[in-house]
Structure 1
């Protein structure tokens, strides 16, 4: 079975890399403090600077982590977006697992 056949698992291959180039480039830019401030000041304008598609913009602005990854977003780059809010990495894990954050912490990490 190839990786592409694993249900609900986006494959980050050449196509995914090409599809996600703009979203990944934008996310990497958030490593620069000036870019983080620009992102916080006017998120949509910042995304437009990187020519994100309307679907990519919607995924970023709604913080739909699964959709960003499905569109070729590399999770390590996407975490830079989470750091701006800040969003705990466990909240992203919960979203990917389809769980409420509190349930994720309890089930996956044994935290009450």
Structure 2
């Protein structure tokens, strides 16, 4: 029996995933500083490289693939700092996590259109 609760198609933020996502989460948390946001906007790839992100992490961030970032160990609270740069709405991120369009997500999850 596993010590980790498993929910189908849901990447849980547990110890191993937390360790794997450390660099990406550290980078995202750094975006709380204006000078880091400016560096991110000026040359995103170089900024990601400065935190030692691997190719999969870099591609997930650069593609704003929210679901992939979480599956690679990204903590949603830190990933929201990346979302604030573009900006992306919580509904957009929630839809990506659920594998739905934003319209479908709003309708099925929140009863809105």
TM range (shorter): over 0.9
Cα RMSD (Å) = 1.3
Please report the TM-score for the alignment, with normalisation by the length of structure 2: 0.92
Secondary structure of the 1:86 match is coil
User: Where does residue 76 of structure 1 map in the other structure?
Assistant: 77
If each structure's helix is expressed as a fraction of its own residues, which one has the higher value?
Answer: 1
How far residue 80 of structure 1 moved from its aligned partner, in angstroms, is: 0.3
> Unpaired runs of 5+ in structure 1?
none
TM-score normalised per structure 1: 0.93
Contact 1:4 1:10 (8 Å CA) reproduced: no
Aligned pairs for 1:6-17 (under 5 A) are 6-17=7-18
CA distance in 2, matches of 1:25, 1:55: 16
Kindly report which structure 2 residues correspond to 1:44-63, keeping only aligned pairs within 5 A, or say none: 44-63=45-64
Would you say how many aligned residue pairs link Structure 1 and Structure 2? Answer: 112
